[in-house]
Structure 1
Amino acid sequence: MLAALSIRDIVLIDRLELSLDEGLCTLTGETGAGKSILLDSLGLAIGARADAGLVRQGAEQGSVTAVFDLTDSHPARALLDENGIEAEGDLILRRVQTKDGRSRAFVNDQAVSVGLLRQLGDMLVEIHGQHDERGLLDASGHRAILDAFGGLEPKVQQVRKLHAAAAAAREALAEHEAALAKAKAEQDYLTHVVGELDELAPEPGEETALAEERALMMHSEKIAGDLSEAEQALSGDGGLDARLNIALRRLSRVAEQAGGRLDAAIAALDRTLVEAAEARDQVALALRAMEFDPARLEHVETRLFALRAAARKHNVQVDSLAALAEKLRGQLQEIEGGEAKLGSLRKAADEAGAAYLTAAKALSDARIKAAAKLDKQVMKELVPLKLDKASFKTQVDVLPEDQLGGPEGIDRVSFLVSTNPGAPHGPLIKIASGGELSRFVLALKVALASRGSAPTLIFDEVDAGVGGAVAEAVGLRLAELAGEVQVLVVTHSPQVAARAQHHFRISKSASGETKAKKDAPLATRVETLDAAARREEIARMLAGATVTDEARAAADRLIGGQS
């Protein structure tokens, strides 16, 4: 419930602190005293549109703070938790409006967006006035109201889950169909490319090996000449081998006479002869390998150029051609298996859609039954409100089966009324007059009191245009409603005011030090009335400008009759 309201520098209110309690609270006062300012201020705190004109003349900014006392299970706490805001204790909404049009919003002293403030406000307060188009008068919310009345939220949650599953299945099917269509369009191209690459049969590292072999063959003639000269230097009569042998023989003949001094030289020459022979053999081997083969060179170049051409064509490295072939071969296999997967996805989408439709139809049937019960309860409330010739109908329009439903099902729900027998039903806000509209809203709220209402309901002149027995009936219904939720009523009806547990009087007077000045600015005041003051206020409402003893006696009878 709304526990406190603090207003600073809004229109005619310079400073106001208001404490509220449970039950029925009435706000009364002369026309123009500032009752609408109070409601506009509260609206600002719960996310209504900002307006620089709300700032009191001479002030730089105005502010409104609303404090709410909520149960631990109230959905507003879950919303706070989702947004990382401390959710324990009282919930404090604050709005600051500057005279240059800027506006700031705070929840529990944490800056938030106005959108979040409005979300919270919608959960906490419902304001109903003759020209209000929110809440019960907003057709977009009628389905949710009917679901709350019928206790259908679990069914709605199930339908939402099935709708999400069906939507996901349809999306997966659509994506696969698009991918398959694209793949099929490229199938001939893929087949051609894979055939080319398979025929080429590239191998990793092949380019490097071919390039090295080609470079070697292109330089083989010069290399072969040098190798031949080297081979001649190592062999033959005048070669290194012959000279080393001569030296070894001569040293060996005198080695014994040298007393071992030539042993090391002889051993070195032996090793040198062995290694020289090895070098000669390797040179001969390399020379035979360097024999120029034009056919082999042509084959190597043809292969190398074919690999490089394929790499350029597909914009990859030569070593990646084999991997590309595997990738494209996999795409072809996917096309072949795509039809089977397509059938599987179609079956899944059909099954998900059928499950959603079954649940949505069951929800629709439950809504139709709940609508009949709601109509019956509202019609019962219309009689004492002197709307016995009017009728109320909750219309549930079920979408044709060929039209897809939404997350909340396949129904459109609207509250329709007819104010005269035989007259066609139409939207509540278009058919009912101001006084009738307020009473229709009141009848609906009484019927819905224990089902999904915000913890605080505000009625702005719900009794406008009625009096006597009708006003008495309005007061009785408001009192009934206040047994379920906190109800604040702006009223000019003494019959309604007499039903209140808490009574506030709104007045307008000069403020503070300026009271003695003739042209002193006026300020709106709110006074909590005790029993005596309440009696006097109700008497004023009965008598007008001059309160008589007869009016006081009538006020006593009204108050006494409600106790």
Structure 2
Amino acid sequence: MIKSILIKNIVLIEKLSLELENGLLIFSGETGAGKSIILSSLGLALGRRSEPGLIRNSANEGSVSIEFDIKEDHPAFIKLKDLDLIEDETLILRRVLNNSGKSRAFINDRKVTLSFLRDIGSTLLEIHGQNEKIGLLDPSSHLAILDKFGDYKELLIQIKEKYAICQKLEKIYYEANKIKENRMMYEEDIKNKINLIKNLNLQNNEEEELSNKKNLLNHYEKIFLSINEIYSILNDDNGNYNKLASNGNKLEKIISASGKLPEIESIVQSLNVILIEAKEILGNINLLKDNFQYDEKEIEDIEHRLFDI
């Protein structure tokens, strides 16, 4: 309930202090006596929008204070207690206006925002005039009114606690399902990877062999150009192999006819070794030519296989 109202420098009022009692209170008087000023002042203290010209002409600022006596189970008390803005059951709302149009709001002499003052004020007092919406007719207030009338405070606390437990259990259930889903997805991914590896049918050193073959195919043109040149040098009609073999035979005949010539025999022996190795080179070149052909599709197949591996 409202215990007192203090109005300073608002419109015609220089200072007005009212002490209120329990029960029905009526302010009566002729038109223009100042009843509406009191109502406007109450609205200011509750955080309502201020109108121009509210400050008394001879003053620099005006103020309105309302002192309430509220119980500890009141919504405003609970909210203010959480913010350390109230200690006992006494609550004072104060609003100060100045000539510049700015205002300051206070709760128990602690500065607060105007929106917070309005939020707290809306739970303490209703002010309505003709054609204004009365709180009792507001459907959003009916449930709270019914609960208060039925004295369901303890029941509401129990329901609130049980609802909080349900929410917590629901969160745990959701998180457990999420973990289960993630585990199943992980297991499925592992199975797919294992099957993929099995289907690859990997062979020993396959990756290294494929990489070497790919490298060889990528340099096919340069490699075989060089090999063909070597082959031509050694094996064409005027090739060095035939010349070496022919001259070697001539030297052997000379040695046979003239007797032992150790220096020449050493040269002939070395020449025979060279001819044998040259012949092996020619054989390897022919084998490579027969077994290795450039195939662009084979390169693509190798690249795909290496990618899978």
Q: TM-score, normalised by structure 2?
A: 0.53
Q: Match of 1:9?
A: 9
Question: Cα RMSD over matched residues?
Answer: 3.2
Q: Match of 1:185?
A: 185
Q: Is 1:104–2:104 an aligned residue pair?
A: yes
Alpha-carbon distance in structure 2 between the residues aligned to 1:132 and 1:99? 29
Alpha-carbon distance in structure 2 between the residues aligned to 1:46 and 1:103? 13
Q: Spell out, residue by residue over 1:174-217, the C-alpha distance to the aligned partner (whole angstroms, 9 max, x if none).
A: 33334433443343334567999xxxxxxxxxxxxxxxxxxxxx
For 1:148, the aligned partner's letter is K
Question: How far 1:35 moved relative to its partner?
Answer: 1.5
Alpha-carbon distance in structure 1 between the residues aligned to 2:17 and 2:134? 27
Q: Is 1:124–2:124 an aligned residue pair?
A: yes
Question: How far 1:146 moved relative to its partner?
Answer: 0.9
Q: Spell out, residue by residue over 1:484-511, the C-alpha distance to the aligned partner (whole angstroms, 9 max, x if none).
A: xxxxxxxxxxxxxxxxxxxxxxxxxxxx
The aligned length equals 196
Q: Match of 2:137?
A: 137
* SS of residue paired to 1:87: coil
Alpha-carbon distance in structure 2 between the residues aligned to 1:178 and 1:110? 47
Q: Match of 1:64?
A: 64
Alpha-carbon distance in structure 1 between the residues aligned to 2:40 and 2:137? 19
Alpha-carbon distance in structure 1 between the residues aligned to 2:156 and 2:74? 19
* SS of residue paired to 1:24: coil
Q: Match of 1:95?
A: 95
Conserved 8 A contact 2:55-2:62:
yes
Are the structure 2 counterparts of residues 173 and 89 from structure 1 closer, same or farther at C-alpha, using a change threshold of 3 Å? closer
Q: Which has the higher contact order (CA 8 A, sep 6+)?
A: 1
Conserved 8 A contact 1:10-1:56:
yes
Conserved 8 A contact 1:51-1:101:
no
Gaps of at least 5 residues in structure 1 are 197-563
For 2:172, the aligned partner's letter is A
Q: Match of 2:162?
A: 162
* SS of residue paired to 2:88: coil
Conserved 8 A contact 2:41-2:64:
yes
Q: Percent identity?
A: 40
Question: How far 1:172 moved relative to its partner?
Answer: 2.8
Alpha-carbon distance in structure 2 between the residues aligned to 1:39 and 1:122? 15
Alpha-carbon distance in structure 2 between the residues aligned to 1:66 and 1:174? 49
Matches within 5 A, 1:483-494: none
Are the structure 2 counterparts of residues 9 and 173 from structure 1 closer, same or farther at C-alpha, using a change threshold of 3 Å? same
Question: How far 1:40 moved relative to its partner?
Answer: 1.5
Matches within 5 A, 1:48-447: 48-52=48-52, 54-57=54-57, 59-70=59-70, 76-88=76-88, 90-191=90-191
Alpha-carbon distance in structure 1 between the residues aligned to 2:141 and 2:156? 14
Are the structure 2 counterparts of residues 194 and 63 from structure 1 closer, same or farther at C-alpha, using a change threshold of 3 Å? farther
Q: Spell out, residue by residue over 1:233-260, the C-alpha distance to the aligned partner (whole angstroms, 9 max, x if none).
A: xxxxxxxxxxxxxxxxxxxxxxxxxxxx
Question: How far 1:109 moved relative to its partner?
Answer: 0.9
* SS of residue paired to 1:16: strand
Q: Spell out, residue by residue over 1:344-373, the C-alpha distance to the aligned partner (whole angstroms, 9 max, x if none).
A: xxxxxxxxxxxxxxxxxxxxxxxxxxxxxx
Q: Match of 1:473?
A: none
Q: Spell out, residue by residue over 1:30-83, the C-alpha distance to the aligned partner (whole angstroms, 9 max, x if none).
A: 223332221121122123334455344565432111123456776644443221
Question: How far 1:152 moved relative to its partner?
Answer: 2.2
Alpha-carbon distance in structure 2 between the residues aligned to 1:47 and 1:70? 18
For 1:62, the aligned partner's letter is G
Q: Spell out, residue by residue over 1:88-146, the C-alpha distance to the aligned partner (whole angstroms, 9 max, x if none).
A: 36422111133444332111211123344334434433335433325213211111101
* SS of residue paired to 1:97: strand
Alpha-carbon distance in structure 2 between the residues aligned to 1:98 and 1:67? 22
Are the structure 2 counterparts of residues 172 and 54 from structure 1 closer, same or farther at C-alpha, using a change threshold of 3 Å? farther
Question: How far 1:21 moved relative to its partner?
Answer: 2.5
Alpha-carbon distance in structure 2 between the residues aligned to 1:193 and 1:60? 81
Are the structure 2 counterparts of residues 78 and 178 from structure 1 closer, same or farther at C-alpha, using a change threshold of 3 Å? closer
Q: Match of 1:20?
A: 20
Are the structure 2 counterparts of residues 3 and 155 from structure 1 closer, same or farther at C-alpha, using a change threshold of 3 Å? closer
Question: How far 1:5 moved relative to its partner?
Answer: 1.3
CA radius of gyration, larger in: 2
Are the structure 2 counterparts of residues 52 and 161 from structure 1 closer, same or farther at C-alpha, using a change threshold of 3 Å? farther
Alpha-carbon distance in structure 2 between the residues aligned to 1:171 and 1:93? 40
* SS of residue paired to 1:54: coil
Alpha-carbon distance in structure 2 between the residues aligned to 1:90 and 1:169? 40
Conserved 8 A contact 2:71-2:89:
no
For 1:165, the aligned partner's letter is I
Are the structure 2 counterparts of residues 96 and 137 from structure 1 closer, same or farther at C-alpha, using a change threshold of 3 Å? farther
Are the structure 2 counterparts of residues 188 and 38 from structure 1 closer, same or farther at C-alpha, using a change threshold of 3 Å? same
Gaps of at least 5 residues in structure 2 are 197-309
Q: TM-score, normalised by structure 1?
A: 0.31
Conserved 8 A contact 2:72-2:78:
no
Question: How far 1:170 moved relative to its partner?
Answer: 2.6
Question: How far 1:16 moved relative to its partner?
Answer: 2.3
Q: Match of 2:44?
A: 44
Matches within 5 A, 1:400-549: none
Alpha-carbon distance in structure 2 between the residues aligned to 1:12 and 1:188? 82
